[in-house]
Structure 1
């Protein structure tokens, strides 16, 4: 029940930690913590209801059993008349049944032998109309007609939202058209086997997805590296049809040229459809379709469309005169110079490597507080001490009620052999109704008992989840780069592990108290009858507790080892579900199912290996309890512990080990000191930040990739109000510079300064408030458009939101939506196109009115018109505030030419810098890039 009510809070946790860099860069930690805590309130109510229901269930069970006992004695005496029976004949034993009816679901993943199909033919869209189900009132395609001939390259171009990517989705049968038909080889695609259809289509998306080896969502790679891996992934299938949806948008000119040549070779014998905003990449296309609002408005080759005066295609190309400037800097250093430089850096690299490792390894320390996890949990529950105290008192009464029931049974049993029939009837009625009354009291006690502990447990679960969520957000970005701290692992901690803790401190604590009281009273009562028997019982009880300790310890260790495999399985399933579209595109569902099954199988084998020890301990506990009961009956000391003790004790022990292990994971988090504390209030907050940035001999190594030196003696000085562009080969360190500015990481050596102050001395939240970041892959949250633009500010004036949206050229589009600025964008902005998401992300950056604008490939997903608009926005922003600094990373340098300073990076070095005119006059790396592009 808790997991169901936790689902809304869980979605927030997944969304936040999958987009952790965006949340941190926007100082959204406090906002997300409040949003998460708000959803946790519903979880608390569900937990309390569960406790009340569980107490009512046990109480009714006890009442029914007590009524059965009383009825058996009363009616047994009535039916037998004055015949005297032995007590054991009258007192029947209650039999407990345990039924397991779970049947495994069997999935047939082997598939069947199918004949191969040939889909290397013409692709035809015949009067296709379509609207997305989530926005059925917004038509996307209108009577679309186009043909992609077999073995030829067909290009689709147009503004964002015109329907280009929708064509790809329909071709892959993610959706079916509202009307019209899509054919391959003259045959409707609905008639093809879906899996075989996708197996014969290779696709590279605008936002490529990856497996965990390259980091969650590919965070360990640069944008260009990720895109090239996606290209290789598509080509290795040797598909009959190749779909390239903005496939080269993240590549520099040199890489783009190499990839384009490879694609040209690969396109032979294949039907290829290219979607792009960069028109220079489709010069060799056999046919180009220009789309607008779901219709084809122009069609022809590159040459014929250019020949049409005033054509849309011609206007689009005019704003891309310097499209896709390359980053070929390999020739700036000879091979001998590179080798010599590598030798000089090798010893320094090893020194930095050790420094980096020691810095990030010292963070993992054992619990500072040596108290047990259980005691620490109790300390966290101290706010509910009155509720817990009431619960414990009720437990004492509950334990005593069990002994009272045993005494009543003894009294009514002895009444059969020592009295006349009339006396028997009188005493049986008295004690029978006393048993029924005891059952009613017990039912009320059970409800109160489990309600009080459920309240205490749910409050603790709420408290520990909220605290853990906030502590996760405090951690430095490098913490989330590690495999064991993926978003799926964090989600597991916040959901399942918190629930396990609630069980041990809620309902389980009630059972523990009751069992302790019951054992203590039973021993006292037993000693009053025969102290020798009590010693025998203590001996068996000692054996049971030793076996119990072994059982709990082994299960705890097993839980820790299984959690590693479980986390890996959760990470795999999370990525597959999150990227289901890509998985279906590649038709690799069976492969991931096999990988997931292997992880589950390993976990099963691990449990199987431990099962012998667990079974021995488990049977020892039961055997000891059985011997105890046998001795009790043999000596007829008292009819206590008739199964109540052993059953409840086993309930407690079953979950004690995993619960304590779960608690330890949270305490490890609470005791951990972040290398960079995102919630820190320490540090200087300058009253007036001018926007001066300086990198002084900066060296940097990613903690998750200690073998790669990313920045090496990097130096760069940016003056207030200056616009700076960073260009260079993919993986050269451009995005790393932005991450150091936002203090996602700290430099291993050297300093990063803002207005001459070491960035480590400044308040971290103040630093990030000074920057407005737009990343290559826009991240939006499952909120309204207005909330996304104003994020994380609440109740922002709508006028400011509209102003930012207007500057980002998205206001008109938003106004056309049925709900306008209150439109929900869906998880990860799923209701919007790539260009629409990017412009909302730009509006979000402009809304903050930052002193420094950071654009990391911000225009890679924009069409020519939107890119031109963004350029005008940036120029206008600089005019409005002459002190505003901007730092831009781009491969499409329509913005670069107007920058005050252009810096060329290679292998972590700044190899060239200057204005566009100065660099062109130097005839160096930048000149080579521009001239090569013009040719």
Structure 2
């Protein structure tokens, strides 16, 4: 039992590590939060059950089965040999029902994973659900997956019942055959009554043990079905691996960034090209604003610099080195990102800001929050930096969440700064103060700004206009002529 728990804990840890080392495309197409949580909580319990006491019990029952037949052959091999003819029927029925149970168990586990995803999305977005009175819809969606899981359990139970019934039918038919043939052997004086009874009892004990092993087989089948998807993910090797220690590590980077004839489409929408020969060069220490209509590819530029995805063709270069040739963990430590939709973890404000730098001191966190114009509202909170932000930061306003995210990026002190609509949630007054802070920290850094407001891009060195995945115009705000 202890061994099973230990193995299940190791599988959980290894599965989580494998999930975290997958590329973003994996989460776009193959996995969702509910599925991962469901497998981490439910499937590992099934694996633990299959690897725990059921193993010892199964070995005991199988040993009893084998021992019973050995005793039967020793006491009366002729009668035992006749009864042995029933074994192929037992094995065939057990194998057939195991296959059926395996398929139904796998279908039920998938349904439970989908149901868990519905719950996670509903609870995590409870304000949106409540505002649109979507509680009934969430319940109906949950019930739909539960009905699928229920049907799978019914089919699995039916298969288990038919399996046991078949085993008992064959077993009791064998008893009748044993008594009939044993009586003939007694009349012929080949065996006496004691020998026949010993053979029947030995065969009966062995057969009953085989029948009692059926629940263990059910646990093994369920554990196998649960482990299949997990180990399928564990075996998956991502081309963009955050744990990969290979790649170049430089003393430092200057921050020159170049997109050279890049072709790209998102894996989930491979038939819709985003970039078709996109090229852009940004010298180090300059600020470039990316403007254009929604869906033109502005945020995709940031995703490629962070190496969330790799281009289908062309190169993304930093300091003249292909981004693929640099160690992923090291280069990401040199890049700071503030997304359009700030993501906060369910912990304190201090922990959320400290996420930007390992071992950050209280003074560093406080300074970063001041630069982001966040410390004023933080200081007014009852617990200050220790105030909990709630699920996904629901205890803070949109502007407050954005400022905490900016403070997190400031604390990282990155060489390359990526701002994806970083001030979009701020009011005019806060935007001006935060923009001033951003202007200060953007000095001597290579900065990308994705924005629609003129106030956000007016201090940029260069404005690049992107339309349908191509740069149609590049304007040097410092006085150079526009280029197309």
Compute the TM-score of the two structures, normalised by the length of structure 1.
0.47
Deviation readout 1:776-835 (Å, 9 max, x if unpaired) = 111111222222111164542112111111111112332333333223322212222222
* 1:641 counterpart SS class: helix
Q: Which has the larger radius of gyration?
A: 1
Partner of 1:120: none
Of residues 432, 435, 457, the one that matches 2:4 is: 457
Of residues 296, 318, 337, the one that matches 1:732 is: 296
Total equivalences in the alignment: 466
The structural deviation recorded for 1:573 is 3.6
The structural deviation recorded for 1:604 is 5.0
- Note if contact 2:335-2:417 (Cα within 8 Å) is conserved in structure 1: yes
Of residues 586, 590, 595, the one that matches 2:132 is: 586
CA distance in 2, matches of 1:751, 1:642: 68
Of residues 517, 520, 542, the one that matches 2:66 is: 520
Give the alignment's Cα RMSD to 1 decimal. 2.7
- Note if contact 1:551-1:618 (Cα within 8 Å) is conserved in structure 2: no
Of residues 508, 511, 530, the one that matches 2:57 is: 511
Of residues 238, 247, 251, the one that matches 1:687 is: 251
Change (3 A) 1:591 1:816: closer
Deviation readout 1:405-439 (Å, 9 max, x if unpaired) = xxxxxxxxxxxxxxxxxxxxxxxxxxxxxxxxxxx
Deviation readout 1:214-240 (Å, 9 max, x if unpaired) = xxxxxxxxxxxxxxxxxxxxxxxxxxx
Of residues 47, 53, 56, the one that matches 1:501 is: 47
The structural deviation recorded for 1:477 is 0.4
Partner of 2:429: 865
Alignment of 1:623-638 (within 5 A): 623-627=169-173, 635-637=196-198, 638=201
Compute the TM-score of the two structures, normalised by the length of structure 2.
0.89
* 2:278 counterpart SS class: strand
Partner of 2:99: 553
Q: Does 1:475 align with 2:43?
A: no
Q: Does 1:723 align with 2:287?
A: yes
* 2:308 counterpart SS class: coil
Alignment of 1:19-38 (within 5 A): none
* 1:530 counterpart SS class: helix
- Note if contact 1:583-1:589 (Cα within 8 Å) is conserved in structure 2: yes
* 1:680 counterpart SS class: coil
Q: Does 1:832 align with 2:396?
A: yes
Deviation readout 1:220-268 (Å, 9 max, x if unpaired) = xxxxxxxxxxxxxxxxxxxxxxxxxxxxxxxxxxxxxxxxxxxxxxxxx
Change (3 A) 1:597 1:818: closer
CA distance in 1, matches of 2:77, 2:439: 94
Change (3 A) 1:609 1:460: closer
Partner of 1:652: 216
* 2:205 counterpart SS class: coil
* 692-701 or 533-542, larger mean C-alpha shift: 533-542
Q: Does 1:698 align with 2:262?
A: yes
Change (3 A) 1:471 1:792: farther
Alignment of 1:69-218 (within 5 A): none
CA distance in 1, matches of 2:442, 2:28: 35
Partner of 1:386: none
The structural deviation recorded for 1:856 is 0.5
Deviation readout 1:845-904 (Å, 9 max, x if unpaired) = 01110001111111111122221111111222244xx2x111111122312111101111
Partner of 2:465: 904
Q: Does 1:571 align with 2:117?
A: yes
* 2:454 counterpart SS class: coil
Q: Does 1:542 align with 2:88?
A: yes
The structural deviation recorded for 1:701 is 0.4
CA distance in 1, matches of 2:438, 2:11: 45
The structural deviation recorded for 1:474 is 1.0
* 1:681 counterpart SS class: coil
- Structure 1 residue runs of 5 or longer lacking an equivalent are 1-453, 926-935
Change (3 A) 1:605 1:782: closer
CA distance in 1, matches of 2:126, 2:326: 42
* 1:726 counterpart SS class: strand
Change (3 A) 1:621 1:794: farther
Q: Does 1:852 align with 2:416?
A: yes
* 1:824 counterpart SS class: coil
* 2:395 counterpart SS class: coil
CA distance in 2, matches of 1:605, 1:651: 20
Of residues 367, 384, 392, the one that matches 1:803 is: 367
CA distance in 2, matches of 1:588, 1:688: 51
Alignment of 1:222-233 (within 5 A): none
- Note if contact 1:523-1:534 (Cα within 8 Å) is conserved in structure 2: yes
CA distance in 1, matches of 2:136, 2:439: 51
Change (3 A) 1:579 1:892: same
CA distance in 2, matches of 1:816, 1:775: 26
- Note if contact 2:296-2:467 (Cα within 8 Å) is conserved in structure 1: yes
- Note if contact 2:463-2:474 (Cα within 8 Å) is conserved in structure 1: yes
